[in-house]
A = this chain, B = another copy of it.
Amino acid sequence: MINDEKLLDGRAVANGIKEKLKSRVSVLKERGITPSLVTILVGNDPSSETYVRMKGNACERVGISSKKIHLAEDTTTEELVKTITNLNEDDSVHGILLQHPVPSQIDERLAFETISIEKDVDGVTSAGYGQTALGFGTYPSCTPAAIMRIMEDYDIQAEGKHAVVIGRSPILGKPVSALLLNQNATVTTCHSRTRNLASHVRQADIVVAAVGRPEFIKGEWIKEGAVVLDAGYNKGNVGDVEYEQAAERASYITPVPGGVGPVTIAMLLNHTVDAAEKTLN
């Protein structure tokens, strides 16, 4: 049995964020502004449809307007770029989210880069990443932001700790490494070409799993007392970390589901409201 005191309860963190958002949204609406997120879905990937629906529902529950644009499977890069450009120019839109993956004929990176940095509430542009990494970014990617928010809410300090991040994707492994580094952790970034992954994980005070492979990180690799943040979400409702075994050794651990996931969505909403508030100035 896992000690409840160890649990990093993402749902509770997310609810705390959403409660505050509701009152911020009320203030905005009194001033004539409805925060607005537009999500773009290209093609018919069922799990992407689910994600987009979940995000839309979450928006509505805090009073954010959520518009979905559903483009056909055979959309071209040019058409997608045009859609994004129009949204960039639309003052009633505060945030733009392009659900990925997109169909293979599309240049995904070019599409991401088209999103204007002021509306990049999902934190996918290289410009946003560069600002985040250099310490003055506005909207880091939502999952890295969620991980940092969970740590903050549970008063887990990164300073002086050795953080080991497994994964180096542009929206997860790389930016979470950057955020931990900026909070004065010593950061090791591991990935598919890392030799002897176990030896790196065994040294970590903070483990961030961002691989996308079920139970890839073994519980016995976790150092006694380490903090485990599992951003994985794989088929069968399991994370990237062998949960039960890891929980025995960890001082804190995020469950899957109910850990990083709900906070990721809350951060997306938070960024959208931030973007709407900026239009007041």
Contact = CB atoms under 8 A, between A and B. Distances in A.
Contacts of A22: none
Contacts of A194: 160, 186
A123 to B, nearest CB: 11
Interface stretch (A127-135, A219-227, A229-237, A262-270): A127-135
A187 to B, nearest CB: 5
Q: How many copies does the complex hold?
A: 2
B125 A195 contact: no
Q: Which of A133, A160, A190 has the most CB of B within 10 A?
A: A133
B133 A129 contact: yes
A188 B187 contact: yes
Interface in A150-176: 159-160, 162, 168, 170, 174
Contact of A189 (B125, B128, B130, B187): B187
A189 B186 CA distance: 6
State which size class the interface on A falls in.
20 to 34
Interface string A164-206: 0000101000100110010010111111011100001000000
A193 B129 contact: no
Nearest to A171: B134
A109 B159 CA distance: 24
B200 A186 contact: yes
Contacts of A133: 126, 129-130, 133, 174
Contacts of A162: 195
A59 B67 CA distance: 54
A186 B197 CA distance: 9
Contacts of A190: 186
Contacts of A130: 125-131, 133
A188 B189 CA distance: 6
Nearest to A159: B193
Q: Which of A130, A187, A195 has the most CB of B within 10 A?
A: A130
Interface in A5-23: none
B189 A181 contact: yes
- Which 8 A-B pairs have CB atoms at the shortest separation, nearest pair first? A130-B130, A126-B130, A188-B188, A184-B193, A129-B130, A186-B194, A126-B134, A127-B127
13 contacts: A109-B136, A126-B127, A129-B134, A130-B133, A134-B174, A168-B181, A181-B191, A184-B191, A186-B189, A186-B193, A186-B194, A187-B189, A188-B189
